[in-house]
Amino acid sequence: MGSLETDRILIVGAGSAGLITAHTFIQDGFQHVDIVTRDPTPGGIWSSVRVYPGLIINNIQGEYRFSCLEQPPPPPTENGDIRQDIRLSGQELQAYMEKFVQSFLPDRIRYNTEVLNIRATARGGESPPQGDNYVWAVMMEDLTTKVVKIHEYDKLILCTGGCSEPYCPLGLSPKDARLSGFQGPVIHSCDYGARSQEVLDAVKPASEGGGAVVVIGGGKSASDTAALMAEQGRKVTMIYTTLDAAVASPIPLPGWFARGRFFSALSPHIELRTSLEHFLHTTWVGSKIVHGFWDAYQWLAFRTLNVPNGSPLRRAPKLFWSTHANNQGSSALGVFYRKVNEGAIDVIAPARVKCFSEDHQAIVLEDGRLVPAEAVILGTGYSSSWNRLFDKAAMEELGLGCRAPHPATDYYRWDYPTLDYHTPPANPANKVATASVYRGIVPAKNILRRNFAINGAVFTTNPGYCYETTAHWIASYFRGDKFLRLPSSAEDALASAAYNSAWLRRRYPDVHMSANDSVRTDLALWCWPQMLDTLLNDMSLPSMRSGGNGLTWPFQVIDVKEIANLREEREALRNAMAQD
């Protein structure tokens, strides 16, 4: 339970999840809400230090907006034409985050502040927590003054996301490059905005006989940086095992298609709540419709992007089974694919990079081939942002670590025909470890304490709607709202989390546990509407808010304005229960 007047709340991270969580808590009446970020500006992965010209976000307009602040449409092109692409640039999204802070969170964020360690302790930090004598001791460093202090908080919300700690494979880090004698720059794609000029200075244009910039990885950041380097006239070699699945169409998609429940109906969920979903996923005919659609949609993307048969650009997972989809818009906007087709980007796939060569002028593939390189960009993903905040013992005590799957989960069955079509082989990690975070928000082991939560660790294509709904759920959780339906014990919460993890292993057999901890508490790429319906139901609030009847609901456009009054709705429930 909490006190609005006295509880000290710390939100770690000033990305989209951190910003809307802070705003929600302040609107809810919490008097002491602090936000810390090591960045100099808000935005998290969209902070000004990370965005750069040419960066286009992977979400369509509106998927990163919040109900309390309109998001302006993309500005016209240089010729004054209306932009057909409805995706924002990274700089436009960063400007939206800045405006949000100016409008709702002035003087609330402590910038340039690194959280070094978090641990549970009794007040004063001299002994372990006991009963109600339980606070979070947070060690912070002011990156400007280098002063380190410890602050105590009653409640803590992690909003650090899964894309803040760059992962460099063993043997390929900048340190490994220096030790091997490699002379060129080696950067992670997350530093592209700050260090791209360093790469451009080190590698001459191809027209002047310059060497190659080698990009390692097949995700969006890898393809983005490869395309931008090629546009700058550099010779580019890209190496990957698989490429992110792409979505593209020759014309902009209608709103009901891109922003409705259409995709979610065609993606199986842990609970099939409508007759249409039951038909699509539990019948032979329905499964043929589902996979026919996804295969056709992927075929349309390849056709739109002019990807020929046999091209390494087709080394992508099926959209149905993928947790990543690289939104390329239209053929005119698929710059990476165009540059590969033009020969400006040389692709080596499938291949894995092993190390830097002994002659200091190349990288070595696992099959022994040498690939010349004057600079290397690592588009190799991210590790968990939680590892630097908690030591191993604290992770275990809190319940953030992975657990071995409970033997009972072997008996869970989702006998959907849609899940028996070209099913990928299971990732070995899925058999030995499972997440234990209830609803992707609260470590199940800690659920009765109501003093710790996570926002932004659920992988979704609609962050704005997801993070805002989650923020309200957490606010009710911290306030002890009686209308919030929760497990009655930590054991029940662990069982629920285990059930959800078993589902994710079934739905994404080759992916789930291979993602980093801080972005895999739940996966809702296509079925995020169902996931958020669950959170609304937890709060005893109406779900499926986009409306429609039994035939038309898949074609209704979902708008974040549907949740603009969640605070008032929760307050009405609170008052009604107080009068009973």
Q: Do 141 and 13 belong to one domain?
A: yes
Q: Do 112 and 206 belong to one domain?
A: no
Total of domains in the chain: 2
Would residue 301 count as lying in a domain?
Answer: no
25/15 Cα distance (integer angstroms): 16
Would residue 155 count as lying in a domain?
Answer: yes
Q: Do 360 and 442 belong to one domain?
A: no
Q: Locate tokens 């922003």: which residue?
A: 259
Which pLDDT score, from 0 to 100, does residue 492 have? 94
Write out the two tokens for 418.
């849609």
Cβ burial of 179 (10 Å; 0-12, 13-18, 19+) is exposed
494/444 Cα distance (integer angstroms): 5
At 308-345, the pLDDT tens digits run: 999 999 999 999 999 888 888 765 568 999 999 999 99
Cα three-residue angle 352-358-359, rounded to 5 degrees: 110
Residue ranges of the chain whose pLDDT lies below 70? 1-2, 74-86, 330-333, 405-410, 431-434, 512-515
Would residue 82 count as lying in a domain?
Answer: yes
What domain range is 516 assigned to? Answer: 9-163+383-547
Q: Do 376 and 387 belong to one domain?
A: no
DSSP string, 219-232: SHHHHHHHHHHHHT
Q: Do 87 and 213 belong to one domain?
A: no
Q: Which of 365, 380, 395 is where one domain is finished?
A: 380
Which pLDDT score, from 0 to 100, does residue 428 have? 79
CATH code of the domain containing 97: 3.50.50.60
Would residue 543 count as lying in a domain?
Answer: yes
Q: Do 375 and 397 belong to one domain?
A: no
Would residue 563 count as lying in a domain?
Answer: no
334/313 Cα distance (integer angstroms): 12
| Confidence (pTM) | 0.95
Compute how many other C-beta atoms are within 10 angstroms of the C-beta atom of residue 152: 15
Q: Do 33 and 84 belong to one domain?
A: yes
Q: Which of 339, 363, 380 is where one domain is finished?
A: 380
Q: Do 526 and 429 belong to one domain?
A: yes
CB 384 within 8 A of CB 376: no
Q: Do 376 and 466 belong to one domain?
A: no
Which pLDDT score, from 0 to 100, does residue 332 have? 55
Amino acid identity of residue 207, one-letter, is: S
Pairing between strand 135-142 and 113-121? antiparallel
Would residue 299 count as lying in a domain?
Answer: no
Distant-in-sequence, close-in-space partners of 125: CB < 8 Å, separation ≥ 6: 137, 150, 152
Would residue 290 count as lying in a domain?
Answer: no
Q: Locate tokens 């058999």: which residue?
A: 431
Q: Do 401 and 539 belong to one domain?
A: yes
CB 14 within 8 A of CB 42: yes
Q: Do 37 and 59 belong to one domain?
A: yes
Helix, strand, or coil (residue 36): strand
Q: Do 530 and 390 belong to one domain?
A: yes
Q: Which of 380, 397, 420 is where one domain is finished?
A: 380
Where do the H-state alpha helices sit in 311-411? 335-342, 392-398
Would residue 18 count as lying in a domain?
Answer: yes
